[in-house]
Amino acid sequence: MNLNDFSVMALWTALALYALAFIAFTFDLARRSSEVRQSAEAAVPSAVERGGAAGSAGSRTLTVDRPAAAGGARVSASRSPSLRVGVALTALGFVVHLAATITRGIAAERVPWANMYEFAMTGTLLIISVFLIVLTREDLRFLGTFVTGLVVVLLGISWNFYVEIAPLPPALQSAWLVVHVFVASLGTAFLALGFALSVVQLIQSRQESLKLELSALRLRFLATLPASDRLENMAYRVNIIGFIFWTFTLIAGAVWAESAWGRYWGWDTKEVWTFIIWVIYAGYIHARATRGWRGTRSAWLSIIGFAAVLFNFGIVNVFFKGLHAYSGL
Amino acid sequence: MTSSSDRRPDKKPDRPTRSPGSRGPSDRIDDPNARPELEGETPETGGAPEAAASGDGPVSPRLGVVGYLRFFWRQLTSMRTAILLLLLLAIAAIPGSLVPQRSSDPNGVTQYFADNPDVAPILDSLKLFDVYSSPWFSAVYILLFISLIGCIIPRTKHHFDAMRARPPRTPARLSRLTDHREETYADTDVDTALAEARTILSKSGYRVEDYDQRGVRSLSAERGYLRETGNLVFHASLVGVLVAVGIGGGFGYAGQRVVVEGQSFVNSAIDYDSINPGRFFDEESLSPYALSLDALDVTYETSNIAAYGQPIDFTAHVTTTTPDGNSTAQQIKVNSPLRFQGTDVFLLGNGYAPTITVRDPDGSVVFTDSVPFLPQDANLTSIGVVKVPDGLAKQVGLVGFFYPTAQPLGDGAFTSNYPDLVLPILSLNVYTGDLGIDDGVPRSVYTLATDDMTQIAGRDADVAAIQLQPGETAQLPDGLGSIEFGNANPDAASGDYSGSVPRFASLDIHSDPSQLWVLLFAVLVVAGLLTSLMVPRRRVWVAVHSVEPAGADGATSGGVRVEYAGLARGEDPRLGEAIESLAYRHGTALGVERL
Ligand code: HEM
């Protein structure tokens, strides 16, 4: 077995581990829903009475930190076996995924991000890394279903892009390949997380505005998630980091284009889309600072922005003609 | 002025309706909609257009052109307009990625016209083949940048004032702020507590101001002015980038030139194959250096089967000679242009230039040249044209196909299955008739208009196409003369064709003096962005109340009750921590025992 075969095998293993983690995270959301139902029945009256202090229901410790009037009982599930299993499987998947990526790089004798298959491999690795790093500072484990789901789908698709190891074409033989593509992938990883948070924010704010009885809703686990304004703040924080990386990517790409193609900007399709994405996120940042655009509208911009990122990666690379014909397909 | 709760939508509803310090001018930094220039505007001019638009009440007689202009200016420079223009810019950029653009893909445009003859003219009239220089695209970004400038200028002035203003008065009820903390310390007095707090705040980079309001003494402190500075640098640098690109680009030029191995060219406008000077570019200013292509080395992958034949290196070995005669051997590679005498020379293409010699029936040379053939695929199947207007009985045109490694396809046709010279074959179709050169209309050297010509050798003629290997000569049909495919490496062993056909390099030569400015502003964009997003801007207040000695007999000595509170200006997730840490350090300074 050569190194590349090992890399392929490891990547499959990582994919399987992420799929299992996905199941564990989903199980956790389902469990939250059922616990919310129990606690909503048991704890809401006392929460109302006490105006937002802690209450407990059943054998587990559930904190109800908001009165029902504010959109329903808010339950934080402090400990959950399936959540821990999900995080552990994700971390394990990450280790195997990292090994797959490193061995691919060693086998190719260069950085493992020079064609679509490798972009997908490294990009998803970065999404998982950013997720795991953020988890050490902020409890975003409720995003596990989304993050592992996205990575499983992306890795699954990436098998269609599989190519044997090939040497770099002259235009890619540049230190900028290392910097520009890596930073772009890193930015994408942050924007992915921002996207996930914005989606949850939208769902959450919808249910907050509906003010329905919790038990009447199917997405009961929402009660265990942060409130929409907090989700918005978190989305903003990861998105601006992604935006900074994206700005850098744009500039580094222009510098590279100058030395490879003789002009720093030529409205090549890939350049156009990188620019469009940048402008959308600039709009998002302004929206968040503007009355009337905050909340739902800015969340939509974050979602549209990430849709453009996916489009830029998946559609533009494969189907559009242009100088960035490096998908390796 | 809008009410302050409106202007701080990020704060939870349980915030005080009037945020502390809302009287200070720097308050509006949080909401750019509340523009400084609106201050002092009379209600008449400020409000009349809205009233007129909504139809309530008679139009104010004082509302004139100026009022409307002000109104539109305010609309244009509002952040809401900025968002809309940004989104419009994103949308306007999309079509340019769906339809080929003349600037980046002229052949694609030609092809598009050929494929969609009905639609293409309509798209063309909408400027969809020139999106990025179209009036509608320009309109969007010009409006955006006017809006941007209209936003930067008042903010800069405002920021300048804010940096010199005193931190605002301490709000009366600090306890209503979310980030609030209270501590009581015994055995100390108000002066000491204030002095210690001032020291700590100053060390942390706060600007501190004393206040004494209704008997309560307090400190009001503010830090993070750099955040707004960064924001302004960021936005101003965007303008800088646009100006540098828009105006600076006019001072440069771009030229193309194909150079065959062994040949040279001089850096002057007439020696370029094509040249696009910028609006302000003076062709006389070109430094007339000479550049000769000594060799173009190409390396192909041979060991990795998955990438067999893929080029892995192009190196052009050139000799440059300055106008005063200094020659230097240099290299040009993809990704590593030659920067020489104010120009940048890029290696953007390569191919073969078979040396073709045509002789008349007496054996006198009527044409000889290494003719660049344009590559058609990755294995360098190439097409080239030779025109022999004079010297033969008729005007002769040749359309040649060159295969570096020919592979027969049956029925006499070939393809190339490897880009290097393993089995080079040149196949020529011969035409006679009017070359169309004499009528003065410029014709491309790479195409032959065969409509008015007769094929005398080739698929449509009785005689098969002429096929030559390097070093071979063949007779032209009808006794017109002979044609030779020269071998550039005649001493090689038989069957070794390496080096038998010269290569050409297509060079792009540019000069763009504004490029460094663009880069400089781009770097400032990033620096400004980082500063404005990373530096927290916050206000902190410390209010000290003296506590009466407890007990009627005054047995215990007095102390102080200290309130600490903070307010974020913009995104600031660490404010709570900062207040905690301030209280902790203050407590330590006032002698609280820490374990
Ligand atoms: C070329 C168009 C523009 C782009 C790309 C752009 C981009 C950005 C970015 C990335 C930020 C966030 C970084 C920061 O806080 O410094 C920002 C903030 C800001 N922009 Fe712009 N901007 C543009 C035009 C404008 C215009 C026309 C205005 C004025 C109407 C404006 C006003 C502001 C303000 C006030 C902020 C601070 C918002 C906050 O505190 O969160 N920008 N802009």
Lowest mean pLDDT among A289-303, B50-64, B97-111: B50-64
For residue B238, give the ligand 1 atom closest to its CA.
Answer: 1
Q: Out of A164, A243, A290, whose CB is closest to B80?
A: A290
A158 and A179 fall within a common domain? no
In Å, how far are A74, A125, A301, B89, B101 from B144, measured between CA atoms?
43, 38, 18, 9, 23
CB contact under 8 A, B304 and A165: yes
Q: Give the other-Cβ count within 10 Å of B144's Cβ.
A: 21
Among A162, A179, A201, the domain-final residue is A162
CA distance between the termini of chain B: 50
Q: Give the gap in angstroms from C-alpha A321 to the nearest C-alpha of chain B.
A: 9
Question: Using CA atoms, how far apart are residues A116 and A114, in angstroms rounded to an integer?
Answer: 7
Cβ B229 under 6 angstroms from ligand 1 = no
| Biggest CA-to-CA distance, chain A | 71
Å from CA of B148 to ligand 1 middle: 8
DSSP strands (E only) in B304-342: 311-321, 327-333, 338-340
Please tell me which residue, B26 or B405, carries the higher pLDDT value. B405
State the Cα torsion B107-B112-B113-B114 to the nearest 10°.
90
Per-residue pLDDT for chain A (329 aa), expressed as one digit of tens each? 788 899 999 999 999 999 999 999 998 888 887 776 666 565 444 433 333 333 333 333 333 333 333 333 344 445 678 889 999 999 999 999 999 999 999 999 899 998 889 999 999 999 999 999 999 988 889 899 999 999 999 999 888 888 888 888 888 888 888 999 999 999 999 999 999 999 999 988 887 777 655 545 556 677 778 888 899 999 999 999 999 999 999 999 999 999 888 889 989 888 999 999 999 999 999 998 888 888 899 999 999 999 999 998 877 777 766 655 554 44
Task: Report which of B69, B65, B88, B76 is spatially closest to residue B33, judged by C-alpha positions.
Answer: B76
Same domain, yes or no: A38 and A157: yes
Contact A250, A199 (CB under 8 A): no
Residues A1 and A93 occupy one common structural domain: yes
pLDDT of residue A69: 34
B residues 224-263 closer than 8 Å to A (CB): 245, 254
Cβ contacts of residue A116 below 8 Å, gap of 6+?
A158, A161, A163, A317, A318, A327, A328, A329
Residues facing A289 on adjacent strands: none
How close, in Å, is residue A78 to chain B by CA atoms? 22
With an 8 Å Cβ cutoff, is A50 touching chain B? no
Q: Å from A31 to nearest chain B CA?
A: 30
Q: Which atom of ligand 1 is nearest to the CA of B77?
A: 30
Examine the domain organization and report whether A241 and A312 are in the same domain.
yes
Q: Are the beta carbons of A289 and B523 separated by less than 8 Å?
A: no
A175 and A141 assigned to the same domain: no
Task: Say what the pLDDT of residue B543 is.
Answer: 94
Taking the C-alpha atoms of residue B235 and residue B446, their distance in angstroms, rounded to an integer, is 48
Q: Please, are residues A321 and B109 in contact by the beta-carbon 8 Å criterion?
A: no
Q: Are residues A214 and A129 in the same domain?
A: no
Task: Please tell me the residue having the least CA distance from ligand 1 atom 12.
Answer: A285
Q: Is residue A67 part of a domain?
A: no
Residue A231, in any domain of the structure: yes
Return d(Cα A329, Cα A314) in angstroms, integer. Answer: 12
Classify residue A32: in a domain, yes or no.
yes
Using the Cβ of B312 and the Cβ atoms of chain A, whether some distance falls under 8 Å is answered with: yes
Range 357-396 of B in CB contact (< 8 A) with A = none
Percent of chain B whose pLDDT exceeds 90: 53
Instruction: Record the pTM.
Output: 0.84
* Cβ–ligand 1 contact at B432 (below 6 Å): no
| Residue B97 forms contact with A (CB below 8 Å) | yes
- ipTM at complex level: 0.84
To the nearest whole Å, the CA of B160 is away from the closest chain A CA by 21
Closest residue, chain B, to A255 (C-alpha): B519
A204 with A324, same domain: the answer is yes
CA quadruple B276, B280, B282, B286: dihedral, nearest 10: -70
> Is residue A48 included in any domain, yes or no?
no
At B209 the pLDDT is 93
Ligand 1 atom with the smallest distance to the CA of B82 is: 27
Cα-to-centroid distance, A41 and ligand 1 (Å)? 47
Residue B116: is its pLDDT beyond 80?
yes
SS (H, E, C) B463-521: ECCEEECCCCEEECHHHCCEEEECCCCCCCCCCCCCCCCCEEEEEEEEECCCHHHHHHH
> Does B147 contact ligand 1 (Cβ within 6 A)?
yes
Q: Are residues A121 and A210 in the same domain?
A: no
B178: exposed, middle or buried (C-beta count within 10 Å: 0-12, 13-18, 19+)? middle
Q: Is the CB of B154 under 6 A from ligand 1?
A: no
Residues A142 and A230 placed together within one structural domain of the fold: no
Whether A260 contacts chain B with CB within 8 A: yes
Find all residues with CB under 8 Å of A162, minimum gap 6, and list them. Answer: A8, A117
Nearest CA to ligand 1 atom 26: B148
Mean pLDDT lowest for which of A251-255, B17-21, B280-284, B576-580?
A: B17-21
Check CB contact of A247 with chain B, cutoff 8 Å: yes
Mean pLDDT over residues B353-364, rounded? 94
* Closest approach atom of ligand 1 to CA B78: 30
Average pLDDT estimate for B379-402: 92
Chain A environment of B311 (Cβ under 8 Å)? 169-170
Q: How far does the centroid of ligand 1 lie from the alpha carbon of residue B235, in Å?
A: 7
Quick one: pLDDT band at residue B559, thresholds 50, 70, 90? Answer: confident
Select from B26, B74, B78, B148 the residue to mutate for testing ligand 1; criterion: most ligand atoms less than 8 Å from CB.
B148
Q: Is residue A1, in this structure, part of any structural domain at all?
A: yes
Minimum-distance ligand 1 atom for the alpha carbon of B86: 2
How far is Cα B188 from Cα B196, in angstroms, rounded to an integer? Answer: 11
Structural domain boundaries, residue A10? 1-42+72-162
In this prediction, residue B557 has a pLDDT band, given cuts at 50, 70 and 90, of: low
Residues A154 and A13 in one domain: yes
Q: What is the pLDDT of residues A153-174, one digit of tens each?
A: 999 988 888 888 888 888 888 8
B10 part of contact set with chain A, CB < 8 Å: yes
B151 in ligand 1 pocket by Cβ < 6 Å? Answer: yes
Q: How far is A94 from chain B (nearest CA, A)?
A: 29
CB spacing of B522 vs A163 below 8 angstroms = no
Q: Which two tokens stand for residue B473?
A: 């000569």
Q: CB-CB: which of B6, B93, B311 is closest to A276?
A: B93
Quick: pLDDT tens for B413-450. 899 999 999 999 999 999 998 887 776 666 677 888 88
CA distance linking residue B204 with residue A183, whole number of Å: 33
> For residue A63, is it within any domain?
no
Q: Is the CB of B89 under 6 A from ligand 1?
A: no
Comparing A14-28, B57-71, B165-179, B497-511, the range with the smallest average pLDDT is B57-71
User: Is residue B104 scored above 70 in pLDDT?
Assistant: yes
Can you read off the two tokens belonging to residue B140? 């969007």
pLDDT for res B36: 33
A59 within a domain of the structure (yes/no): no
Cα–Cα nearest to B345, from B320, B311, B322: B320
Determine, for residues A263 and B510 on separate chains, whether the beta-carbon distance falls below 8 Å: yes
Which is it for strands B216-223 and B538-547: parallel, antiparallel or unpaired?
Answer: antiparallel
Provide the number of structural domains found in chain A: 2
Backbone angles phi, psi at B5, to 5 degrees: -70, -35
Distance CA B309, CA B306 (A): 9
Q: Are B150 and B76 in contact (CB under 8 A)?
A: yes
Q: Which two tokens stand for residue B245?
A: 């690109």
Q: B228 is written with which tokens?
A: 């707004």
CB contact under 8 A, A170 and B12: no
Last residue in a domain, options A134, A162, A190: A162
Q: How many CB pairs under 8 A join A and B?
A: 142
Q: How far is CA B455 from CA B324, B429, B485, in A?
A: 50, 7, 20
Distance from CA of B89 to the nearest CA of A (A): 7
Q: Could you give the CA distance from residue A244 to residue A247 in angstroms, rounded to a whole number?
A: 5
CA distance B266 to B259: 11
In chain B, what percentage of residues exceed pLDDT 70?
A: 87
State the average pLDDT over residues B482-511: 91
SS3 category, B102: coil
Query: Which of B101, B337, B523 is nearest residue A259 as measured by Cβ atoms?
Result: B337
Which amino acid, residue B543?
A
Q: How far apart are CA A204 and CA A226, in angstroms?
A: 8
Domain final residue, candidates A162, A179, A212: A162
Using a CB-CB cut-off of 8 Å, the residues of chain B touching A264 are 515, 518
How close B511 gets to chain A, by Cα (Å)? 10
**A254 contacts on B by Cβ (under 8 Å):** 522
- Exposed, middle or buried by CB within 10 Å (0-12, 13-18, 19+), for B115? exposed
DSSP secondary structure letters along A238-264? HHHHHHHHHHHHHHHHHHHHHHHHS-S
Q: Which amino acid is at B356?
A: I
CA B456 remoteness from chain centre:
52
d(Cα A278, Cα A283) in Å, to the nearest integer? 9
Instruction: Give the model's pLDDT for residue B307.
Output: 82
Ligand 1 centroid distance, CA of A8 (Å): 44
Q: Would you say the C-alpha torsion A177, A179, A180, A184 has a positive or negative sign? A: positive
Please, which residues have CB within 8 angstroms of residue A144's CB and are 6 or more apart in sequence? A21, A22, A24, A25, A28, A83, A86, A87, A90, A131
Tokens of residue A70, six digits:
């504010």
Assess whether A176 and A290 both reside in one domain: yes
Looking at the domain assignment, is residue A53 inside a domain? no
- Contact with chain A for residue B3, Cβ under 8 A: no
SS3 B585: helix
A133 and A97 part of one domain: yes
Q: Cβ contacts (< 8 Å) between A236 and chain B: which residues? A: 571
A264 lies within 8 A of chain B by CB: yes
A240–B contact, CB cutoff 8 A: yes
Query: Would an 8 Å CB–CB cutoff place B1 in contact with chain A?
Result: no
What number of residues does chain B have? 595
